Amino acid sequence: MQEKFSVEESKSFNVGICVICTFVILFFVMAFSGDDYKHIDKNFYHMNAGFGRTDGLLVGDKVRMSGVDIGRVVGAKLDENYNAVLKLEIKAGLKIPDDSSASIVSSGIMGSKYIEIEPGGSEDYIPDNGEFSYTQDAMVLEELLDRILTIGKSKNKNYEENSMEENNE
């Protein structure tokens, strides 16, 4: 009986050690991978883009042009008017016209958000640490659904009013 107890005790001890090691490893992975951003390329330059709201867009999210990844969001702060100013890291060699726009879009209905750059037609380019003149804020799903419901209610009300007028005639 004594031997069986020590084998069970040994198994419990080994399982406990494995669980503790797993938690320690997870802690270190999460602690040191959080805000530490690795550059997408050794050669890059920065741009700024101001938005009224950036719902769901995070530091580290992608910047795309024509569906191709060209950079990352590397910083976010509030300006004096409480608007979000995002710092974007763009691969060197890509010249973005100064009349281009930056929009916050998502990959599908519940997908992750990223910044899509629509290139303009200007022959002048946004310089390093320059800023986009045209931006479009993130569309919040709840606001979109509210707009759709409002339109539906309005159409339903108009339909009911027209039906009642036809019945009265």
Domain enclosing residue 19, as ranges: 1-34
Tell whether 75 and 121 lie within a shared domain: yes
Q: Across-strand partners of 116?
A: 64, 103
Residue 66 sits at φ, ψ, to 5 deg, of 55, 35
Is 160 within the bounds of a domain? no
Per-residue pLDDT of the chain (169 residues; tens, 9 = 90+): 445 567 788 888 888 888 898 888 887 776 666 544 555 556 889 999 999 988 888 899 999 999 899 999 999 999 999 999 999 999 988 999 999 999 998 887 777 889 999 999 999 999 999 999 899 888 777 677 788 888 888 877 776 666 666 666 6
Tell whether 97 and 120 lie within a shared domain: yes
Tell whether 3 and 79 lie within a shared domain: no
Q: How many domains does the chain have?
A: 2
- Measured CA to CA, the distance from residue 99 to residue 123 in angstroms comes to 9
pTM of the model: 0.61
Tell whether 125 and 96 lie within a shared domain: yes
- Measured CA to CA, the distance from residue 115 to residue 99 in angstroms comes to 16
